[in-house]
Amino acid sequence: MNIRLNNKALFETNTGLKVLEVDLTTILPEVPFELSQFTVAVDGHSPDESHEEREIWIITSGSGQLKYKGAIYNLIAGQAVTFSPNIVHTIKNTGETTLNVISIWWKEQ
């Protein structure tokens, strides 16, 4: 079975961040979470962000530094991190290749 996900560009920043939305509703109409994939260019970073949703990032390739709750964490491919709601977080690509991340988020009930 071959499933094609509906990917569409959400936005791009001048700091090297590019976000693609992954629409799972074509295969799971009532999916309880949202999903995106994003890339951060070499020496690029995401803007500071906080939101009401709980979130998980899965690093699929590359490496970077996460700033979360005032601390810095080095991340590499194969690692995952989770974020509590309303806590500022950002990531900087510290590697020599593009940083690729899957983001999954949902509102807690």
Amino acid 27: pLDDT: 80
Measured CA to CA in angstroms, residue 15 lies from 2, 5, 41 at distances of 35, 27, 8
- What is the reported pLDDT for 6? 66
Domain that holds residue 67: 6-106
Domain count, the chain: 1
Q: How many helices (H) and strands (E) does the chain have?
A: 0, 9
The stretches in the chain having pLDDT less than 50 are 1
pLDDT of residue 3: 55
On whether the CB atoms of residues 22 and 7 are closer than 8 A, the answer is yes
Which CATH number characterizes residue 84's domain? 2.60.120.10
What predicted TM-score, i.e. pTM, was given to this entire model? 0.90
Q: Is residue 1 part of a domain?
A: no
What pLDDT score was predicted for residue 5?
A: 62
* Contact yes or no for 75/91 (Cβ under 8 A): yes
- 3-state DSSP helix/strand/coil percent for the chain, to nearest 5? 0, 55, 45
